[in-house]
Amino acid sequence: MSTAILPSAAAAEMSATAPLTLPNPARSVRGVLPGFGLSLGFALSYLSLLVLIPLAALFLRAAGLGIEGIWHELTSARVLHALGLSFGGALAAAAINTVFGALIAWTFVRYDFAGKKLFHAMIDLPFALPTAVAGIALTALYSEHGWLGAPLAQFGIHVAYTPLGIIVAMVFISLPFVVRTLEPVLEEAEQQLEEAAATLGATRRQTITYVIFPTVAPALLTGAALAFARAVGEYGSIIFIAGNLQNVSEIAPLLIMIRLDEFNYGGATAIAAAMLVISFAILFGINLLQAWSRRHA
Amino acid sequence: MHEPASVRRYDNALIEPAPVRWLLIVVTLAFLAVFLLLPLVTVFVQALRNGVSTYFSALTDADTLASIRLTLVTAAIAVPLNTMFGIAAAWAIAKFEFRGKTLLPPLIDLPFSVSPVIAGMVFVLLFGSRGWFGPWLSEHDVKVIFALPGIVLATTFVTFPFVARELIPLMQAQGTEEEQAAMTLGAGGLRTFWHVTMPNIRWGLLYGVLLCNARAMGEFGAVSVVSGHIRGMTNTMPLQVEAMYNDPGEYSAAFAVSSLLALLGFVTLALKNFLEWRHGSELAALRGRG
């Protein structure tokens, strides 16, 4: 396509008769833009080589263990505890972030207060701060002599080196998801609907329950799902604060790491495959729930 | 106070009572202060606890410098690769219709729901000494695991979706009309891309690259699996932080190196907020997507 600038009539004709002027017949179906084969080919090969084939290799390896082999690896008390801790902790963290995330998003969208811009700019910090840094900072903060750990210890609450510390790290790492997915929805939510509800005699509480909540529920679920997915696999920020005691505060990703260090690839593969299957199942369930809540909004 | 009662009642139904508002604001600020501000402040306080000279000697330590170099090299390979992928994927998805198109974005987001440890592990299963290609690789004297290639692969996997997921909605929102106009006016494909598409997507692209880079330089779990943890050799900056933290004599040094990574996070956040503020309307398609 190295023709000079064409008069508009000729241009229109040319785009209409594109199959004749372009050598590749596939382009005529796709319109006049070039690069379809190249861009899709590159994207698909790169996706397959880097992500799909390696993940498939993991499942193939797991399949090689056989059902019995996988069952044997997964049903040890240590593995079950680690999986329970990772998934239970992630659910707790997602729940905490759903409540506080909704509250934070609401405050930022609807109210004005001093320092709003600065605090708002900080919300994405967990995405920008490397997890190892977050991990050692949280540990220093919540240890016996830390700024928060010392006063909490006086009430008999120990965060660092306990399962509670794991939840704190998970809350930190997944904090932005709910806030970020909720904010645009709250901003776009039509306040006219609230006004309509109010003029019809609804109290503020009724308006929030019956008008605002149904509009934001799907976004709330998306945020919670993203937060959960991130927290369940989190490793860097947790291992420093967890204490990593077998059957107490040992998360599933750490156990995978330990199995790999022992060259027990079968054990590591079984745990990894189980984690992926359970996460995908939960995310799929949340997707269905979301579709349902959209229909009923 | 001079408004008729009915107006006041109407206002009350539109906004929460003042005590509720104040409570929500206080809870929000307290939550963010405890969970975000305090950890950040802690990094710098701990880093400078033993004085400025200890701080700088930790940063000029030979192993630290080697880890900084490794982190920069890794990001310099992983980020451009994922940027090229992001542009290609977004071009194919946003500008063309083809079968199975709707399957692609979820597949591209896949690495976000895979634990970083598992992301590193899949490469150990493929290229480790007992992995599928392990024997072949050792026969040909190629090191992937416990060496730079493995670190780059793991980093590229975990940062894979960043650029693509920013560009896809942005380019979809822009459609194909401008490109088609340029093409019918005789511009070539590359020229159309550089002069028509690129100016439309540059801020979204920069946004994606920024987030991709922050994660690439800060990744810990995935790199931890494939690195081998050799100080001065295969330790990236986050791994160097871990190594120093686990050595009782280098507790403060660990925070000194952390402070560099925290600064990286700081710059990333500042640029991100600047882009959202300055080019917010162009990035509108991206908002609310983390």
* pLDDT tens digits, one per residue of A201-216: 888 888 888 888 888 9
Query: What does the mean pLDDT of chain B come to?
Result: 90
| Distances A280 to A79, A141, A228, A230, B117 between C-alpha atoms, Å | 19, 34, 11, 12, 16
Q: How far apart are CA A43 and CA B66, in angstroms?
A: 33
Chain B's closest residue to A225, CA to CA, is B113
- Least confident segment among A217-226, B9-18, B171-180: B9-18
Closest CA to B170 of B50, B233, B99, B86: B86
| Non-local CB neighbours of B159 within 8 Å, separated by 6+ positions | B78, B79, B82, B212, B215, B216, B219
Output the furthest CA–CA distance in chain B (Å, rounded): 90
* Beta-carbon separation of B288 and A57 below 8 A: no
Residues B22 and B88 both lie in one domain: no
Regarding whether B131 and B8 lie in a shared domain, the answer is no
From chain A, the residues in CB contact with B14 under 8 A are 191, 194-195, 198, 204
pLDDT at B257: 96
Higher pLDDT, B60 or A194: B60
Distance CA A213, CA A209 (A): 5
Do residues B217 and B258 make contact, with C-beta atoms less than 8 angstroms apart? Answer: no
The pLDDT score that the predictor gives to residue A203 is 82
Nearest-CA distance from A18 to chain B in Å?
10
CA-based radius of gyration for chain B: 24
Among B218, B5, B42, B228, residue whose Cα is nearest residue B127: B228
Give the residue-averaged pLDDT of B72-90: 97
DSSP state of A293: H
**CATH number reported for the structural domain that contains residue B224 in this entry:** 1.10.3720.10
**8 A C-beta contact, residue B178 and residue B196:** yes
Q: Which residue in A136, A187, A206 has the most chain B C-beta atoms within 10 A of its own C-beta, making it the best mutation to test that interface?
A: A136
Which letter does DSSP use for residue A5 in this model? P
Same domain, B132 and B58: yes
The whole-model pTM stands at 0.88
pLDDT of residue B234: 93
Shared domain check, B175 and B148: yes
For the segment A7-19, the average pLDDT, to the nearest whole number, is 41
Chain B residues inside the 8 Å CB shell of A15: 180, 184
pLDDT at A11: 41
Q: Are B275 and B207 in contact (CB under 8 A)?
A: yes
Per-residue tokens: B256:
């000194």
The residue of chain B nearest to residue A138, with distances taken between CA atoms, is B39
Is pLDDT of A249 > 90?
yes
Res B116: pLDDT: 97
Tell me the percentage of chain A whose pLDDT exceeds 70.
89
Tell me which chain B residues have a C-beta less than 8 angstroms from the C-beta of A172.
35-36, 39
pLDDT for res B11? 58
The pLDDT of B130-143, averaged and rounded, is 90
Which of A27, A83, A129 should be substituted to probe chain B, the one whose Cβ sees the most B Cβ atoms within 10 Å? A129
Interchain CB distance below 8 Å, A104 and B32: yes
> Which residues touch B51 (CB under 8 Å, ≥6 apart)?
none
pLDDT at B288: 44
For residues A72-91, average pLDDT: 95
Instruction: Provide mean pLDDT across the span A4-20.
Output: 41
pLDDT of A245 higher than 70: yes
Tell me, what's the ipTM? 0.90
- Tell me which chain A residue has its CA closest to the CA of residue B83: A43
Answer yes or no: do A132 and B92 touch at CB < 8 A: no
Cross-chain Cβ contact A130/B38 below 8 Å: no
Contact B253, B54 (CB under 8 A): yes
B28-73 pLDDT per residue, tens: 999 999 999 999 999 999 999 989 999 999 999 999 999 999 999 9
Q: A297 pLDDT band (50/70/90 cuts)?
A: low
**Chain B residues inside the 8 Å CB shell of A119:** 28-29, 32
Place of tokens 């597949």: B107
- At B13 the pLDDT is 63
Judge whether residue B19 has pLDDT over 60: yes
Domain co-membership, B127 together with B242 = yes
A296/chain B closest Cα distance in angstroms = 22
Please tell me the predicted confidence (pLDDT) of residue A31.
63
**How close B253 comes to chain A (CA, Å)?**
12
pLDDT of residue A12: 42
Who contacts B148 (Cβ-Cβ below 8 Å, separation ≥6)? B70, B73, B74, B234
B2 and B132 inside one domain: no
Single-letter amino acid code for the residue at B229: H
Burial class of residue A35, CB neighbours in 10 A (0-12, 13-18, 19+): buried
Same domain assignment for residues B110 and B133: yes
Q: Give the mean pLDDT of chain A.
A: 87
Gap between the Cα atoms of B288 and B290, Å rounded: 6
Task: Write the DSSP string, chain B.
Answer: --S-HHHHHHHHTTS--HHHHHHHHHHHHHHHIIIIIHHHHHHHHHHTTT-HHHHHHHHS-HHHHHHHHHHHHHHHHHHHHHHHHHHHHHHHHHH---TTGGGHHHHHHGGGGS-HHHHHHHHHHHHSTTSTTHHHHHHTT---TTSHHHHHHHHHHHTTHHHHHHHHHHHHHH-SHHHHHHHHTT--HHHHIIIIIHHHHHHHHHHHHHHHHHHHHH--HHHHHHH---TTTT--HHHHHHHHHTSGGGHHHHHHHHHHHHHHHHHHHHHHHHHHHHSTTTTGGGTT--
**Whether A260 and B121 lie within 8 Å, measured CB to CB:** yes
Domain match, B154 and B222 both:
yes
- To the nearest whole percent, how much of chain B has pLDDT over 90? 72
Residue B229 predicted with pLDDT over 90: no
DSSP letter, residue A200: T
Does residue B151 contact residue B236 with C-beta atoms inside 8 Å? yes
pLDDT score recorded for residue B121: 96
Tell me how crowded residue B152 is: count the other CB atoms within 10 A of its CB: 22
pLDDT band for position B285 (50/70/90)?
Answer: low
CB contacts of B264 in chain A (<8 Å) are: 128, 130
pLDDT digits (tens, 9 = 90+) for A95-133: 999 999 999 999 999 999 988 999 999 999 999 999 999
Which whole number is the average pLDDT over B11-36? 87
Give mean pLDDT, residues B263-285: 84
Interface size A-B, in CB pairs within 8 Å, comes to: 318
Region A136-142: what's the mean pLDDT? 97
| Residue B99 sits in the same domain as residue B13 | no
Structural domain including B204 reads 51-286
Give, for A179, the enclosing helix (H) or strand (E): helix A163-188
Please report which confidence band the pLDDT of residue A28 belongs to, taking 50, 70 and 90 as the band edges. Answer: very low
User: How large is the average pLDDT for residues B265-284?
Assistant: 85
In eight-state DSSP terms, residue A33 is: -
Interface contact B185-A38, CB threshold 8 A: no
Name the residue among B13, B132, B261 with its Cβ closest to that of A133: B261
Cα distance between residue B153 and residue B126, in whole Å: 11
Answer yes or no: do B21 and B137 share one domain.
Answer: no
Q: For residue B108, what is the nearest residue in chain A, using CA coordinates?
A: A47
- Distance (Å, whole) CA A124 – CA A173: 10
Domain boundary among B47, B64, B85: B47
**What mean pLDDT comes out for the span B192-213?**
93
In a shared domain, residues B136 and B238: yes
Q: How many domains is chain B built from?
A: 2
Q: Map out the domains of chain A with their CATH numbers.
A: 67-295 (1.10.3720.10)
Q: List Cβ neighbours of A270 (8 Å cut-off, separation of 6 or more).
A: A62, A65, A69, A70, A73, A74, A79
* Interchain CB distance below 8 Å, A198 and B34: no
Taking CA atoms, B239 is separated from A175, B48, B218, in Å, by 24, 20, 9
Same-domain pairing of B14 and B115: no
Calculate mean pLDDT across residues B113-122.
Answer: 96
* Cα of A22 to nearest chain B Cα, Å: 12
| Angle, CA of B124, B128 and B129, to the nearest 5° | 155
